[in-house]
């Protein structure tokens, strides 16, 4: 009798633990800037990734085109729930490396997501490479993140050169429509973000035969941009490309108004221009500004619209492009883990390499997700969106346009 | 024509620099203490303006006065709780104390007000004035006038009033002042209060055209140091002149040479001044 | 009794990484040692000589950029850049040192901050040095000479060796005439000069020695992290950290910086782990609070507190 009871207990114990293991957690590490200048962007991105995890962990049949949304948890891992372990890298590359190391060795995450700042992505992916843990970069655009021959780094977002080519393609279309588009000025802040993107825009312009009449590099978070605006006023280019963070973007708009310079056309490279603070502060001065976004809220009751509603309920604001791109990276990673059917890093890596998501399965406007040998998503793409009223609406390319392009730049008029 | 506009733009921002630097030079000159957290005082003034406007619908004059009062109190508090004790101690402690204060103030603001940028509505002080084809930004003009007023006011306060002469006496010789029946502690607390108040006014006025967040103190603080060093520690009129010159150099070099070099010029000037003429333009020897 | 203390310390330091099989603690240990090197180097000029430099990042950055620059230009081992970093740092030390040491007190500190900022901005805009984007090193090692290791343990021992050398030199200086001169300078320059101490010369020597080891710290940092940019090389927080760590433990004392590093680095990392994920900047509020408390209550650092307590106990026993 006692022996029966003992064996029954042992069997029960094993079953419980087996069930516990099956319904256990899969940890994914996330590093983002959660303090310092980029904290608001970092927090917004984390909220988006948490939402992705929520959608995967709970049944959401209304979002059925997204992989793993209909069911609860990772279906091929016994319904295991995904848990995000979030760390703050403070915008500091060495802190990024330390935190990544901690997440990998202490928290034992099976994969990593991150990191907003390109400089941090560079060091953090190096750690993941040394430890053999997959790292999916959702947002950093510096070219050399996927150019180092790494095997464990994957990137879902389009990169700087993609955006630059999009802008120049757009300007070429503008010219075809009969508007002036032969000269461009590039205004960029002088940290790694501004410098690297400006370089690609310059190259793309030359390749498209567009003349760069001014390349204005300025000190980020400076107190005054009057001199820069006066330079622009003097050169009067057909279009200005701003590569700036929030504070500077706001300052430029205000300064252009105060110096009565209404540019013919304004293109803002995401970042500052996408920050809701920009719209609330100077939206009425920047009407018609062009921006890039692979995110579009879309028609009512569409998947993207529903996601936006959920995001709004969670954070009080609309989804922005950067957060959306991070959320897409999270979905891509969770789908790969599921397809691997295992939490072993090598299996996840192979699954990532085999990724082939169709545009209909995505929340972002990419043409798909398929990684090349360097880990870069070759089907990454972006829309160009224009600020009309209080929202950005897609106006280019023509096939995705929801609104006709407004030309010239309305600004504050 | 455009040259004139560049010059005017430089002078206007220079006046703004002078405004938020005047408080720093007072404290520095008086007590030989560098307030590394000065930029954060200005930042707090900006937030007072923002919350004053948003919550209580204050006008510019009201929220500037509110900022002055609140930051005066903060200055006094910082002196009494911290500065008073480290002042006569090792150099290391003095430098560390205000640096620590910088972190505490900046990140408390970050924690309390969040990471997002906020702004006062554009044009709160009206559109740019057009004077003979030269555009003068209204908020900067107001800041410039305020800078002048604060400079003159402080100068008069220090040189023409009883309070002022007491403050200067303590700065010159603390012990002798005590023997004269002046209470040095009280005078130095007031000096810190005045420094805070001027930073508060500066912040409130800058908020009318500059986006606000907890981290703006970083760039503003650095500019204030350059202005104060150049103008001479302890000289409020020196800060005014230095501010204008620096604004002008920045504007001209940004326009003609390239904005990036603007910073290089300013810092190089800073270093040269320290090496060749440490007391700056108008500082005491 | 004292000798037993030294042996114990040496044993703990030597065996630390081997006692845990935990890469996180190994990393932490190596970071503590690295911070102790920079802070101990600062200690020479800021603690012993009393010249509070808040710009030593200049040497750290120089030491960090040279190895990666050599790698970028000639694909050679970063190790070859170490001496280059030292040479550049010495040149900078002499060029800044001579005019700046004529200034006293706050002016000196401000000048060091300004020079570091100036260099940071120049490097930020200099394409040859990678401008704002910075430089990266070998990601996977071609051989032992690339100094790229997956584990933190080899780095730990490299850092320990350099720290031991630096502390040995500092200890020797403390007991020599050099140390006597530095103490006199710290006590009062005018008095020191009247006693015949060659003030300017010895300040410069201390500065150059400080520069050499700070540069080494930068080079060691860069082979571990594989990346440098103007902010992480020349930023003001880099300089302030050195000052703070030395001050926390006790500036002007041999083991002050090591103690400061042993407390502050884990504290910084733990508060970031605990609070950082929440993103409220609490880490920094705590950090700032600690700085203010030290400055206000115990500017001599923890070693001073320790000594005071020991003296009190000794006098009570007497």
Tell me if chain A has a CB within 8 Å of the CB of B215: yes
Same domain, A319 and A308: yes
Domain count, chain B: 1
Kind plus residue range of the DSSP H or E element containing C305? helix C302-317
**What whole-number distance in Å separates Cα of residue C16 and Cα of residue B211?**
49
Residues of B in contact with A233 (CB under 8 A): 2
Long-range contacts of A315-320 (CB under 8 A, 24+ apart): A315/A44, A315/A47, A317/A44, A317/A276, A318/A276, A318/A391, A319/A48, A319/A295, A320/A44, A320/A274, A320/A275, A320/A276, A320/A293, A320/A295
Q: CB–CB of B250 and A216 under 8 A?
A: no
Tell me if chain C has a CB within 8 Å of the CB of A94: yes
Q: What is the CATH number of the domain that holds A231?
A: 3.40.50.2300
- With respect to residue A412, please indicate whether it lies within any of the assigned structural domains: no
Tell me if chain A has a CB within 8 Å of the CB of B63: no
Which residue, among B96, B105, B284, would best test binding to C if mutated, counting the most C CBs under 10 Å from its CB? B96
**What whole-number distance in Å separates Cα of residue A358 and Cα of residue B13?**
53
- Put simply, the chain B residues between 104 and 123 with a CB less than 8 A from any chain A CB are 107, 110, 114-119, 122-123
* DSSP assignment letter at B37: T
**What whole-number distance in Å separates Cα of residue C205 and Cα of residue B238?**
36
Same domain, A282 and A182: yes
Same domain, A28 and A55: yes
- With respect to residue B235, please indicate whether it lies within any of the assigned structural domains: yes
- With respect to residue B282, please indicate whether it lies within any of the assigned structural domains: no
What does the pLDDT read at residue B43? 95
Residue carrying the six token digits 């782990």: C273
DSSP letter for each residue of A64-119: TTSTTSSSSSBGGGTTBEEEEEEEE-TT-HHHHHHHHHHHHHTS--SEEEE-SSHH
Give the domain extent around B249: 2-276
Q: CB–CB of B96 and C247 under 8 A?
A: yes
Name the residue among A251, A211, A255, A203 with its Cα closest to residue A233.
A255
**What whole-number distance in Å separates Cα of residue B92 and Cα of residue A97?**
31
Which residues are CB-neighbours of C176 under 8 A, at least 6 positions away? none
Tell me if chain A has a CB within 8 Å of the CB of C150: yes
**What whole-number distance in Å separates Cα of residue B100 and Cα of residue C286?**
10
Nearest by CB to residue C277, choosing from A87, A95, A150, is: A87
DSSP letter for each residue of C278-289: GTSSHHHHHHHH
- With respect to residue A73, please indicate whether it lies within any of the assigned structural domains: yes
Give me the tens of pLDDT residue by residue for chain A, a chain 413 residues long: 555 555 444 544 444 444 444 448 899 999 999 877 778 889 899 999 999 999 999 999 888 889 888 888 888 888 899 999 999 998 888 889 889 988 998 899 999 999 998 889 988 998 898 889 999 999 988 888 888 889 999 999 998 888 899 999 999 999 998 898 999 999 998 877 788 889 999 999 999 999 999 999 888 777 788 889 998 999 999 999 999 988 889 999 999 998 889 999 999 998 788 888 888 889 999 999 999 988 888 888 889 999 999 999 999 888 888 899 999 999 999 999 999 999 999 999 999 999 999 988 999 988 899 999 999 998 888 889 999 988 888 898 887 788 889 889 988 88
- With respect to residue B281, please indicate whether it lies within any of the assigned structural domains: no
Same domain, A134 and A230: no
- With respect to residue A2, please indicate whether it lies within any of the assigned structural domains: no
Beta-bridge partners for B130? B135
Nearest by CB to residue C110, choosing from B90, B96, B225, is: B225
SS3 content of chain A, % helix, strand, coil (to 5): 45, 20, 35
Distances (CA, A) of A387 to A280, B210, C21: 12, 22, 55
CB B232 within 8 A of CB B212: no
Give the domain extent around A247: 161-293+384-400
**What whole-number distance in Å separates Cα of residue C313 and Cα of residue C318?**
9
Beta carbons within 10 angstroms of residue A357's beta carbon: 21
Partner chains of B (3+ C-beta pairs under 8 Å): A, C
Same domain, A25 and A92: yes
Q: What is the CATH number of the domain that holds B126?
A: 1.10.3470
**What whole-number distance in Å separates Cα of residue B72 and Cα of residue B61?**
16
Q: CB–CB of B9 and A221 under 8 A?
A: no
Say how many CA atoms lie within 13 Å of A2 toward its Cβ.
0
Nearest by CB to residue A87, choosing from C125, C232, C276, is: C276
Taken as a whole, chain A contains a residue count of 413
Same domain, A394 and A253: yes
Say how many CA atoms lie within 13 Å of A405 toward its Cβ.
23
Q: How far is CA A293 from the centre of its chain?
A: 9
What does the pLDDT read at residue B232? 82
CA diameter of chain B: 60
Which residue, among B118, B206, B259, B260, would best test binding to A if mutated, counting the most A CBs under 10 Å from its CB? B259
Residues of C in contact with A94 (CB under 8 A): 221, 225, 232
pLDDT digits (tens, 9 = 90+) for B170-226: 877 878 888 888 888 888 899 899 999 989 999 998 898 888 988 888 888 888 888
Here the tokens at position A289 are 């500004």
- With respect to residue A286, please indicate whether it lies within any of the assigned structural domains: yes
Instruction: Give Rg (Cα) of chain C.
Output: 20
Closest A-chain CA to C27: A98
Beta carbons within 10 angstroms of residue A64's beta carbon: 11
What does the pLDDT read at residue A353? 94
Same domain, A245 and A329: no
Residues of B in contact with A255 (CB under 8 A): 137
CB B27 within 8 A of CB B41: no
- With respect to residue A188, please indicate whether it lies within any of the assigned structural domains: yes
Q: CB–CB of C273 and A119 under 8 A?
A: no
- With respect to residue A13, please indicate whether it lies within any of the assigned structural domains: no
Nearest by CB to residue C150, choosing from A43, A130, A196, is: A130
Taken as a whole, chain B contains a residue count of 285
**What whole-number distance in Å separates Cα of residue A413 and Cα of residue C84?**
58
Same domain, A184 and A61: no
B79 against B114, higher pLDDT = B79
Nearest by CB to residue B9, choosing from A223, A227, A280, is: A227
Same domain, A145 and A181: no
Residue A316 burial class via C-beta count within 10 angstroms: exposed 0-12, middle 13-18, buried 19 and up? exposed
Closest B-chain CA to C99: B275
Partner chains of A (3+ C-beta pairs under 8 Å): B, C
Same domain, A370 and A388: no
Q: CB–CB of A101 and C227 under 8 A?
A: no
DSSP letter for each residue of B184-232: HHHHHHHHHHHHHHHHHHHHHHHTTTS-B-TTTHHHHHHHHHHHHHHH-
Residues of A in contact with B115 (CB under 8 A): 35, 39-40, 42-43
CB A199 within 8 A of CB A142: no
Domain count, chain A: 2
Distance from CA of C305 to the nearest CA of A (A): 31
- With respect to residue A186, please indicate whether it lies within any of the assigned structural domains: yes
Dihedrals φ, ψ of C136, to 5°?
Answer: -120, 155
Number of Cβ pairs < 8 A linking chain A and chain C: 99
Partner chains of C (3+ C-beta pairs under 8 Å): A, B
Name the residue among B34, B33, C295 with its Cα closest to residue C287.
C295
Q: How far is CA B51 from the centre of its chain?
A: 21
- With respect to residue B105, please indicate whether it lies within any of the assigned structural domains: yes
Q: CB–CB of B274 and C111 under 8 A?
A: yes
Instruction: Provide mean pLDDT across the span B100-126.
Output: 86
Same domain, A89 and A212: no
What's this model's pTM, rounded to 2 decimal places? 0.84
Same domain, A249 and A393: yes
- With respect to residue B284, please indicate whether it lies within any of the assigned structural domains: no
Distance from CA of B15 to the nearest CA of C (A): 22
Q: Is the dihedral of CA A180, A182, A187, A188 positive or negative?
A: positive
Low-confidence ranges of chain C (pLDDT < 50): none
Name the residue among C167, C139, C132 with its Cα closest to residue C36.
C167
What does the pLDDT read at residue C46? 93
Distance from CA of C187 to the nearest CA of A (A): 38
Q: Is the pLDDT of residue B231 over 50?
A: yes
Nearest by CB to residue B92, choosing from C52, C121, C293, is: C52
What does the pLDDT read at residue A21? 44
What does the pLDDT read at residue A16? 44
């Amino acid at each position: 009798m006692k022996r029966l009871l003992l064996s029954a207990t042992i069997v029960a114990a094993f079953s419980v633990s087996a069930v516990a293991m099956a319904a256990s957690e899969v940890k994914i590490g996330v590093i983002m800037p959660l303090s310092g200048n980029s904290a608001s962007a970092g927090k917004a991105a984390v909220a988006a990734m948490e939402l992705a995890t929520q959608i995967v962990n709970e049944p959401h049949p209304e979002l059925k085109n997204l992989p793993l949304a209909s069911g609860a948890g990772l279906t091929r891992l016994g319904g295991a729930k995904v848990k995000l372990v979030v760390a703050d890298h403070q915008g500091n590359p060495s802190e990024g490396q330390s935190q990544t190391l901690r997440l990998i060795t202490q928290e034992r995450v099976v994969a990593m997501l991150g990191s907003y700042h390109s400089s941090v992505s560079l060091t953090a992916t190096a750690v993941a490479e040394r430890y053999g843990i997959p790292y999916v970069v959702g947002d950093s655009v510096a070219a050399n993140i996927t150019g180092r021959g790494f095997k464990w780094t994957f990137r879902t977002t389009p990169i700087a050169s993609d955006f630059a080519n999009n802008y120049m393609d757009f300007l070429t279309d503008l010219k075809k429509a009969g508007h002036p588009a032969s000269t461009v000025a590039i205004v960029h802040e002088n940290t790694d973000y501004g410098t690297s993107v400006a370089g690609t825009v310059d190259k793309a312009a030359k390749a498209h035969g567009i003349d760069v009449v001014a390349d204005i590099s300025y000190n980020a978070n400076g107190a005054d941009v009057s001199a820069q605006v006066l330079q622009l006023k003097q050169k009067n280019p057909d279009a200005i490309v701003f590569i700036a963070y929030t504070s500077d973007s706001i300052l430029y708009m205000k300064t252009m108004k105060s110096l009565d310079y209404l540019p013919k056309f304004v293109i803002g490279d995401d970042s500052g221009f996408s920050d809701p603070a920009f719209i609330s502060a100077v939206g009425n001065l920047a009407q018609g500004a062009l921006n890039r976004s692979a995110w579009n809220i879309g028609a009512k009751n569409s998947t993207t619209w529903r996601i936006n509603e959920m995001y709004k309920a969670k954070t009080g604001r609309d989804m922005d492009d950067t957060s959306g791109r991070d959320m897409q990276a999270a979905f891509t990673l969770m789908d790969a883990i599921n397809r691997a059917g295992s939490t072993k890093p090598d299996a996840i890596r192979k699954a990532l390499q085999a990724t082939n998501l169709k545009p209909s399965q995505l929340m972002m406007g990419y043409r798909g997700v398929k990684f090349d040998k360097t880990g870069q998503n070759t089907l990454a793409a972006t829309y160009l969106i224009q600020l009309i009223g209080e929202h950005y609406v897609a106006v280019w390319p023509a096939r995705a346009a929801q609104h006709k392009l407004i030309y010239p730049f309305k600004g504050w008029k | 024509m455009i040259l004139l506009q560049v010059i005017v733009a430089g002078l206007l921002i220079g006046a703004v620099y002078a405004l938020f630097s005047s408080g720093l030079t007072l404290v520095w000159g008086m007590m030989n203490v560098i307030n590394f957290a000065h930029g954060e005082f200005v930042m707090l003034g900006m937030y007072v303006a923002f919350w004053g406007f948003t919550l209580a619908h204050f006008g510019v004059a009201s929220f500037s006065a509110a900022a002055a009062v609140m930051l005066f109190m903060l200055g006094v508090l910082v002196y009494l709780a911290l500065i008073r004790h480290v002042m006569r101690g090792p150099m290391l402690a003095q430098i560390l104390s205000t640096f620590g204060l910088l972190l505490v103030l900046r990140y408390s603001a970050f924690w309390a007000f969040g990471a997002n940028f906020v702004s006062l509505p554009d044009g709160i002080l009206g559109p740019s004035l057009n004077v003979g084809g030269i555009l003068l930004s209204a908020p900067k003009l107001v800041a410039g006038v305020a800078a002048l007023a604060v400079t003159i006011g402080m100068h008069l306060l220090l040189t023409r009033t009883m309070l002022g002469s007491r403050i200067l006496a303590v700065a010159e010789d603390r012990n002798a002042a005590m023997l004269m029946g002046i209470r040095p502690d009280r005078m130095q607390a007031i000096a810190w209060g005045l420094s805070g108040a001027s930073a508060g006014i500066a912040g409130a006025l800058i908020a009318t055209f500059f986006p606000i967040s907890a981290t703006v103190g970083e760039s503003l603080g650095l500019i204030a140091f350059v202005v104060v060093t150049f103008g001479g520690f302890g000289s409020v009129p020196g800060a005014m002149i230095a501010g204008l010159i620096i604004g002008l150099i920045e504007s001209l070099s940004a326009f003609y040479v390239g904005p990036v070099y603007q910073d290089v010029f300013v810092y190089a000037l800073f270093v040269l001044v320290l090496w060749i003429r440490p007391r700056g333009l108008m500082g005491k020897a | 009794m004292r000798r037993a203390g030294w042996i114990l310390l040496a044993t703990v330091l030597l065996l630390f990484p081997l006692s845990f099989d935990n890469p996180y603690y190994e990393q932490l240990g190596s970071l503590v040692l690295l911070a102790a090197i920079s802070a101990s180097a600062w200690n020479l000029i800021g603690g012993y000589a009393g010249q509070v430099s808040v710009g030593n990042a200049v040497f750290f950055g120089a030491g960090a950029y040279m190895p990666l620059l050599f790698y970028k230009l000639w694909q050679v081992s970063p190790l070859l850049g170490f001496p280059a970093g030292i040479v550049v740092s010495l040149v900078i030390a002499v060029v800044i040192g001579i005019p700046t040491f004529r200034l006293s007190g706050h002016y000196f500190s401000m000048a060091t901050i300004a020079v570091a900022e100036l260099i940071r901005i120049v490097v930020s805009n200099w394409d040859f040095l990678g401008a704002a984007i910075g430089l990266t090193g070998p990601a996977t090692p071609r051989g032992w000479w690339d100094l790229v290791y997956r584990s933190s343990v080899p780095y730990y021992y490299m850092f320990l060796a350099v720290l031991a050398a630096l502390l040995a030199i500092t200890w020797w200086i403390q007991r020599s005439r050099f140390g006597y001169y530095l103490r006199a300078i710290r006590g009062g320059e005018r008095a020191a000069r009247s006693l015949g101490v060659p003030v300017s010369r010895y300040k410069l020597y201390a500065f150059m020695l400080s520069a050499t080891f700070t540069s080494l710290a930068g080079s060691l940092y860069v082979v571990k992290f594989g990346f440098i940019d103007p902010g992480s090389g020349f930023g003001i927080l880099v300089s302030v950290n050195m000052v703070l760590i030395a001050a926390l433990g006790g500036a002007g004392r041999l083991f002050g910086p090591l103690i400061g590093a042993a407390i502050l680095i884990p504290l910084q990392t733990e508060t970031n782990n605990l609070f950082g994920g929440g993103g409220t900047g609490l880490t920094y509020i705590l950090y700032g609070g600690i700085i203010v408390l030290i400055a206000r209550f115990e500017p001599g650092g923890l070693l001073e507190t320790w000594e005071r307590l020991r003296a009190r106990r000794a006098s009570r026993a007497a």
